[in-house]
């Protein structure tokens, strides 16, 4: 989304940019669609996530349309293919992810439907659909559209054996016209973008993202057989639904069936080509799921009834996952799995209930069983995504650090990023300036040249000490994300922390090591400590005031409705910044009560601010108050 954000900022529709540099890794169609939605709805996070879902749903309707063309006498194939396609775990999961492959799947279907029209002598409609599908497919993810669409069309003499067809030469001629139209559509962007983007960008989009990716991928390089172990996951849950495959073994007309041969002509050549390509990812095969759905739907349509035991394998699979969730509080310990410890059993009971419902469902209708498996899959996916977000979400949540980086940009500080930058901050923080890209060995020298600057870096383990000053840290994708600033030997950081198990406070004004700082940031910090420490370092402190916020922090006074009060207005004092804790240790309930969604820590102090930003505490909102190093309760409390 950061590429679309920079397109929005720059107004440059030809050459996508990331971090101020041309971005040659993907064509611009997805970014154009996001830009268009923002132009109508305003800049937001939900529209980019909705775009793949729209194309995923539209692909379901195109798959049903293709089923009607291949099996005109079997209307139930079209209906069941819709539920089968949306019921694939992988397809439904990627409908919620901002990626290019569902858009590519849609235009692959458009291209193939257009080709079928050409084969069946509806030439004008076929050329237009096939040409538009190829052109927009190239603008979606590049020439890979040809791998998905052309093999099945070129093999049409094998799968289309009806009379009344035009000759092979004539068909090839119209195919060439459609391909020329598609390439022409793509060239409307490629030529001016290659000219404007410069030699490096031109080489990348014309060579690096096509031939080089096929011959020697610079990323995701895998062996030729890598896709084979993933095929069961791609076809799940239908691989566990017995009637999905029974039709292939009991129906003897498959070899002479046009639709059957059509799907084989689509799946096998594409799988072989992608196995030979060096770069491999599981989502590269998403455009192959529509023909798989058609095959499964055809197999189901050949069966007149379906017994309860047909869903036994899938029900057992769901029950097994449900049992794992129910028992999760027993074997998952530690704060990282707090969500599973508190709600895992509830989600598990839901899955066990769904598994039981599959087994007791009455009736022998095949379609009814298909719909039941589809609904169960959606429930399983929702539960799985909810649990996954709770379990590993904190390791990917960058909202807090993004807000801090935005504050730095607003302050005019130079910002550098150590290592390869993937655009994870620019849209999230709505940044307007690019980062300086450096490596780890350049951090110290860059901070010496930019004493007010900040560096974003990543470590496997925090070093005990370093010349750079650690300002922020959080777990991120198995590593530790840190923000570093130039060292200042005159300053000391005061921290005040408590744990969920103890109410004893501890203050320290020693210079902290990286690891000590990393640990103490997970304790709860008292706002008055943050402000008062600033007073000892500020020569113009005022009598009666607890001071301003420390460096890299901001304070505000709010009313009971959460509105910021003007100067002199009395309300609750709140603070936000790099010196504020991430929350109470092992106490998520207290963390949720103390922090609002925007990251402000509510201190419980009643205060007001003067015109220069100095805060004056006049009362306490909470029952507990800090007196020196002791906590005093105006009324009795339980220990």
H helix intervals, 88-122: 89-94, 101-119
- Mean pLDDT for the stretch of residues 153-177: 80
Number of Cβ within 10 Å of residue 161's Cβ equals 11
pLDDT-derived band at 186, boundaries 50, 70, 90 = very high
CB 448 within 8 A of CB 486: yes
Q: What is the Cβ-side half-sphere exposure of residue 88, based on CA atoms within 13 angstroms?
A: 29
Q: Which of 40-44, 202-206, 337-341 has the lowest mean pLDDT?
A: 337-341
DSSP state of 15: S
φ/ψ of residue 519, rounded to 5: -75, -45
Q: Which of 291-305, 336-350, 359-373, 588-602 has the lowest mean pLDDT?
A: 336-350
The residue with greater pLDDT, 467 or 262, is 262
pTM value?
Answer: 0.75
Question: 475: closest CA among 421, 534, 397?
Answer: 397
- Give every strand in the sheet of 571-577, ordered side by side: 553-558, 571-577, 601-609, 615-620
pLDDT-derived band at 297, boundaries 50, 70, 90 = very high
Helix (H, G, I), strand (E, B) or coil at 547: strand
pLDDT-derived band at 510, boundaries 50, 70, 90 = very low
The pair of three-digit structure tokens given for residue 63, joined into one six-digit string: 């798959």
Look at residue 504 and tell me whether its pLDDT is greater than 50: no
Task: Please list, residue by residue across 202-218, b when 16 or more beta carbons sit within 10 angstroms of its beta carbon and e when fewer do.
Answer: bebbeebbeeebbeeee
Look at residue 512 and tell me whether its pLDDT is greater than 50: no
Residue 497 parent element (H or E): strand 495-497
Q: What is the dihedral of CA 313, 317, 323, 324, to 10 degrees?
A: 150
pLDDT-derived band at 107, boundaries 50, 70, 90 = very high
Question: 288: closest CA among 271, 310, 311?
Answer: 271
The pair of three-digit structure tokens given for residue 153, joined into one six-digit string: 């069309």
Look at residue 163 and tell me whether its pLDDT is greater than 50: no
Q: Which of 322-326, 486-490, 523-527 has the lowest mean pLDDT?
A: 523-527
CB 519 within 8 A of CB 471: no
Q: Which of 23-27, 110-114, 538-542 has the lowest mean pLDDT?
A: 538-542
Report for 88-97, 178-187, 236-245: range of highest mean pLDDT = 178-187
Adjacent-strand bridge partners of 559 = none
The residue with greater pLDDT, 465 or 590, is 590
Number of Cβ within 10 Å of residue 62's Cβ equals 20
The pair of three-digit structure tokens given for residue 70, joined into one six-digit string: 């291949």
CB 354 within 8 A of CB 381: no
Mind listing the pLDDT tens digit for each residue in 474-496?
888 778 888 888 865 334 333 33
Find the angle CA(215)-CA(217)-CA(221) to the nearest 5 degrees.
115
Look at residue 56 and tell me whether its pLDDT is greater than 50: yes
Adjacent-strand bridge partners of 480 = 459, 475
pLDDT-derived band at 539, boundaries 50, 70, 90 = very low
For residue 629, the model assigns a pLDDT of 47
φ/ψ of residue 615, rounded to 5: -100, 145
Strands 415-418 and 454-459: parallel
Q: What is the dihedral of CA 194, 198, 200, 203, to 10 degrees?
A: 30
The pair of three-digit structure tokens given for residue 587, joined into one six-digit string: 């106490």
Between CA 569 and CA 574 the distance in angstroms is: 14
- The pLDDT mean for the chain works out to 81
For residue 204, the model assigns a pLDDT of 81
């Amino acid at each position: 989304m950061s590429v679309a954000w920079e397109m929005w900022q720059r107004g440059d529709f030809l050459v996508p940019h990331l971090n101020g540099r041309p971005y040659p890794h993907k064509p611009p169609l997805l970014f154009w669609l996001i830009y268009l939605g923002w132009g109508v709805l305003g800049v937001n996070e939900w529209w980019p996530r909705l775009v793949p879902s729209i194309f995923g749903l539209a692909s379901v309707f195109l798959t049903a349309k293709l089923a009607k063309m291949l099996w005109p006498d079997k209307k139930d194939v079209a209906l069941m293919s819709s539920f089968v396609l949306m019921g694939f775990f992988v397809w439904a999961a990627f409908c919620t992810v901002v990626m290019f492959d569902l858009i590519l799947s849609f235009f692959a279907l458009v291209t193939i439907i257009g080709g079928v029209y050409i084969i069946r002598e509806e030439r004008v409609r076929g050329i237009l659909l096939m040409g538009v599908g190829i052109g927009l497919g190239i603008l979606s993810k590049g020439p890979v559209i040809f791998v998905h669409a052309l093999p099945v069309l070129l093999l049409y003499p094998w799968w289309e054996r009806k009379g009344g067809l035009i000759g092979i030469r004539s068909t090839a001629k119209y195919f060439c016209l459609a391909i020329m139209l598609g390439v022409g559509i793509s060239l409307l962007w490629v030529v001016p973008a290659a000219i404007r983007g410069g030699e490096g960008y031109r080489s990348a989009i014309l060579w690096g993202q096509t031939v080089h990716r096929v011959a020697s991928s610079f990323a995701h390089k895998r062996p030729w057989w890598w896709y084979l172990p993933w095929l069961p996951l791609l076809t799940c849950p239908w691989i566990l639904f017995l009637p999905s495959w029974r039709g292939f073994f009991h129906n003897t007309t498959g070899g002479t069936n046009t639709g059957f041969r059509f799907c084989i002509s689509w799946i096998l050549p594409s799988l072989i080509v992608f196995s030979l390509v060096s770069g491999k990812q599981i989502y590269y095969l998403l455009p192959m799921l529509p023909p798989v759905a058609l095959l499964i739907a055809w197999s189901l349509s050949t069966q007149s009834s379906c017994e309860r035991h047909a869903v036994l394998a899938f029900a057992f699979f769901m029950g097994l996952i449900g049992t794992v969730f129910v028992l999760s509080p027993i074997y998952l310990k530690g704060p990282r799995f707090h969500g599973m410890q508190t709600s895992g059993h509830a989600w598990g009971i839901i899955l066990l209930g769904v598994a039981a419902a599959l087994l007791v469902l009455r009736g022998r209708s095949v379609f009814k069983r298909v719909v039941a498996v589809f609904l169960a899959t959606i429930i399983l996916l929702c539960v799985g995504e909810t649990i996954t977000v709770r379990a590993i979400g904190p390791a990917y949540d960058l909202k807090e650090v993004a807000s801090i980086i935005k504050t730095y940009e607003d302050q005019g500080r130079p910002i550098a990023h150590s290592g390869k930058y993937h655009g994870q901050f620019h849209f999230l923080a709505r940044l307007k300036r690019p980062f300086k890209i450096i490596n780890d060995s350049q951090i110290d020298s860059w901070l010496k040249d930019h004493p007010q600057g900040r560096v974003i870096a990543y470590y496997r383990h925090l070093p005990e000490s370093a010349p750079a000053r650690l300002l922020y840290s959080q777990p991120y994708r198995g590593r530790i994300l840190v923000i570093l600033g130039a060292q200042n030997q005159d300053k000391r950081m005061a921290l005040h922390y408590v744990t969920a198990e103890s109410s004893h406070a501890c203050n320290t004004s020693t210079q902290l090591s990286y690891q000590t700082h990393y640990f103490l940031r997970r304790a709860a910090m008292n706002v008055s400590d943050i402000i008062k420490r600033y007073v000892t370092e500020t020569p113009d402190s005022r009598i009666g005031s607890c001071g301003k916020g420390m460096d890299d922090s901001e304070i505000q006074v709010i009313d009971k409705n959460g509105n910021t009060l003007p100067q002199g207005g009395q309300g609750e004092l709140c603070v936000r910044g790099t010196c504020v804790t991430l929350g109470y240790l092992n106490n998520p309930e207290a963390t949720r009560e103390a922090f609002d969604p925007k990251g402000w820590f509510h201190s419980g102090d009643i205060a007001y601010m003067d015109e220069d930003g100095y805060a004056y505490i006049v009362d306490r909102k909470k029952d507990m108050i800090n007196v020196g190093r002791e906590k005093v309760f105006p009324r009795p409390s339980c220990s």
